[in-house]
């Protein structure tokens, strides 16, 4: 069984970090802990008190000093790299690269699922890939 199958179908819950429900970055945190025995920093303290993520706040999460000290932009994406997705020039979403063609992610409209990086929807929205510096 592949490592990510236990997450498939789990619901999206904004700001949740539970193994039973999570937001996009909560999924990243859970998977990194399980697969890499690595716990990425949580950025909830950088977000406002909105009921949904705001693009400028999400951007802050991945442009802060704290973020840059943990994540490095990579040009050679590999499985388990963080995928940053942009819309209208702003990072708005993230997922995990599970192989060279697929991303594990979750959104408000979808439970956790796998998407192809070369699909019409995703191929022009992937902004960058990040990998822990450790």
**Residue 50: is its pLDDT beyond 60?**
no
Domain boundaries, the chain: 3-132
- Lowest-pLDDT range, 68-72, 92-96, 110-114? 68-72
Q: Which residues contact 124 (CB under 8 A, 6 or more apart)?
A: none
Q: Are 17 and 96 in contact (CB under 8 A)?
A: no
Determine the Cα–Cα distance for residues 26 and 106; give it in Å rounded to an integer: 10
In this prediction the pTM is 0.86
| CATH code linked to domain 3-132 | 3.90.1720.10
Mean pLDDT of 61-81: 83
Band (pLDDT 50/70/90 cuts) for residue 103 is: very high
Mean pLDDT of 18-33: 92
């Amino acid at each position: 069984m592949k490592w990510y199958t236990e997450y498939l179908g789990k619901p999206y819950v904004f700001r949740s970090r539970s193994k039973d429900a999570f937001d996009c970055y909560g999924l990243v945190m859970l998977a990194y802990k399980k697969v890499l025995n690595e716990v990425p920093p949580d950025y909830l303290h950088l977000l406002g008190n909105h009921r949904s993520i705001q693009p400028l706040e999400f951007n802050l999460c991945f442009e802060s000093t704290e973020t840059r000290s943990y994540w490095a932009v990579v040009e050679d994406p590999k499985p388990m790299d963080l995928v940053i997705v942009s819309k209208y020039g702003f990072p708005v979403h993230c997922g995990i690269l599970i192989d060279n063609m697929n991303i594990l992610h979750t959104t408000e409209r979808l439970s956790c699922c796998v998407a192809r990086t070369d699909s019409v929807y995703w191929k022009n929205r992937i902004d960058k890939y990040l990998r822990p510096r450790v």
